[in-house]
Structure 1
Amino acid sequence: MTTPAISMTDLSSDRLIAALNLPAAATVSQRVPKKILAENAAATATDRRLLQDHIEEIIWIAALKPANAGVAEYRDEQRTYLELAVLCATLRQLGGNSAKVTRVAELVHRAIPYPVVLVLDGGERLYVSLAHIRWARKEADQTVLDGALMQGIFERHCAANSQACTDDNLREFLTALDMSRQARTSLWHLYQGWLDTVSAWQAVAVTGRFEASMTPEQAADRRAALQRCHALDARIASLRSAANKEKQMARQVAANLEIKRLQHERDAVGRQL
């Protein structure tokens, strides 16, 4: 599938989903009641309120199965993938609160007993979220998230000098999402391919260019480097905040030297992307 020219301003949840190039036979297009999400995933009153207050609507777009996608199921000791779900949620009253968006996404992933490609429309921002699942160790027939969410963020009106905010990067990403470009050995491999594509989008914020991973090994190295970059960014931000509040000159100097050391490491890790 050839991806037409598109700008970040024009990007919509429909266009993100269309870029997946899903088979028509997999279409579901059914509304998911928020009550079901809350019952299946929200253990606390705070989480139930989060889903109720901040999800306007959630639609089950498609269900990819061996029969309609031509991709085999996957089974091992940790997980059984009989189906992949594609969902789209319209959010409300969240603004730029990324932490709450991430929590809403996590709750949706937890509520669905299949691996989910989740598109969230937050108005100024669009999000694509993925997370592997596995069998729970202590509860029979229950699934849990297997690792952290992989989340791509798209600023509809990002700054003109943003490295990610280029039509070329967006077009390359949308082209790479195409289901026909993913590994089709099994549903796990298909889902992993989409997860790696979103990981490659995350790397654009560091490298300034979108490059799809050529091998599973390259994708794994990229994910590890991204995790290290994020950890270093958090540590650097914490040290800068502490240094700004520090009144003793010797401690300020020590903090600034550590910041420089971490920044050099961060630059080196960034070059691995």
Structure 2
Amino acid sequence: MDFPATIEDFYSNLDVPESCYLGKRLFKKHFYDNGQLTATDKKAFKEDIESIEWKYTLKPSTINIQSFEDDPHEYLEVALIQVTLSSDKRHLRIAEVIQKAIPYPVVIVFSCGSSIALNAGLKRISRADSNKMVIEDCLDTGWIPLESPEVWQNSFLDDLQIKNLSFQNFFQFYQDIAERITAYNCAVHTGSYSLAPSEGESVDRGEALKELARLERKLTELRNKLKKEKNLGDQVQLNTKSKQIKDRMDAIKAVI
């Protein structure tokens, strides 16, 4: 992809077959009626969303990929939805509402100004109610500036092309998208985009990212305490704990 780029360049690079194009507008009322929105959710939808478009439907009749069903999973098709925002502050909350409201695999492309964010929700059939889907994990890239991406962001965008994904079935296809978003989120920490962990390492990248997020929250908490602490001995202890957490984070970053 050449930069500076636009949302149109992103779709051109993605290269979804024209046979999958739907271009159907979705109204906010659809999500009000089909989701349990809190007052905060409704506020985000009302104030932040400019438009929602069901851009592509990938299914066996529109692309050469087969549906997939087993005991916990039902991947009959994949929808790609574009959400254009006026503010980028609450896109994760909006993504959660949309993912919960649509009971099959969805890729959401958020657009705000010249930046995009990609969101995927790994779903399975509810054990309590076979007519419902639950989200096992929600993956999100955060905002990517199309006009001036970092080298590793550019590598991710170039890798995210339909031709690079599995055509075995829609489960594998969607897993490949999730794998690339996970690799992207690892690159946020390492500065290098790669589909595989560091050579010779065996690590669950998803769990490693969750642990990094937990450690980051803990480190922020310790730093806030340090700012308020007057006792020299307690300051030393807090600094020591902070150093231990930073060392642990560096060790995780070295293997993802």
The question of a shared fold, defined as TM-score above 0.5 by the shorter chain, is answered with yes
Q: Quick one: distance in 2 between partners of 1:22 and 1:156?
A: 19
Residues 119 and 170 of structure 1: CA distance in aligned 2, closer, same or farther (over 3 Å) = same
Look up the match of 1:65: 59
Residues 38 and 19 of structure 1: CA distance in aligned 2, closer, same or farther (over 3 Å) = farther
Q: 1:227 is aligned with what amino acid?
A: K
Indicate the larger mover: 138-147 or 75-84.
Answer: 138-147
Look up the match of 1:185: 168
Q: Does 1:5 find its partner at 2:2?
A: yes
| Counterparts of residues 113-262 of structure 1 (less than 5 Å) | 113-123=103-113, 125-155=115-145, 165-166=149-150, 168-213=151-196, 221-262=204-245
Query: Can you give the 5+ residue segments of structure 2 that lack an aligned partner in the other structure?
Result: none
Indicate the larger mover: 245-254 or 37-46.
Answer: 37-46
Maintained 8 Å contact 2:119/2:138 = no
SS in 2 for 1:148: strand
| Counterparts of residues 91-130 of structure 1 (less than 5 Å) | 91-92=85-86, 94-95=87-88, 97=89, 100-123=90-113, 125-130=115-120
Q: How far off is 1:185 after superposition? A: 1.8
Kindly report the root-mean-square deviation, in angstroms, between the aligned alpha carbons of the 2 structures.
2.1
SS in 2 for 1:68: coil
Residues 195 and 236 of structure 1: CA distance in aligned 2, closer, same or farther (over 3 Å) = same
Query: Can you give the 5+ residue segments of structure 1 that lack an aligned partner in the other structure?
Result: 159-164
Look up the match of 1:20: 14
Q: How far off is 1:157 after superposition? A: 6.8
Look up the match of 2:73: 79
Kindly tell me the number of residue pairs found equivalent between the two proteins: 253
What's the TM-score, normalizing by structure 2? 0.90
Q: How far off is 1:156 after superposition? A: 5.0
Residues 245 and 157 of structure 1: CA distance in aligned 2, closer, same or farther (over 3 Å) = farther
Q: Quick one: distance in 2 between partners of 1:26 and 1:44?
A: 33
Maintained 8 Å contact 1:130/1:151 = no
SS in 2 for 1:147: strand
Identity in percent: 26
Q: Quick one: distance in 2 between partners of 1:61 and 1:220?
A: 35
What's the TM-score, normalizing by structure 1? 0.85
Q: Does 1:35 find its partner at 2:9?
A: no
Q: Quick one: distance in 2 between partners of 1:102 and 1:109?
A: 10
Q: How far off is 1:116 after superposition? A: 0.9
Cα distance per residue 1:140-196 (max 9 Å; x no partner): 4122212233334313577xxxxxx43x43432122111111122210110110111
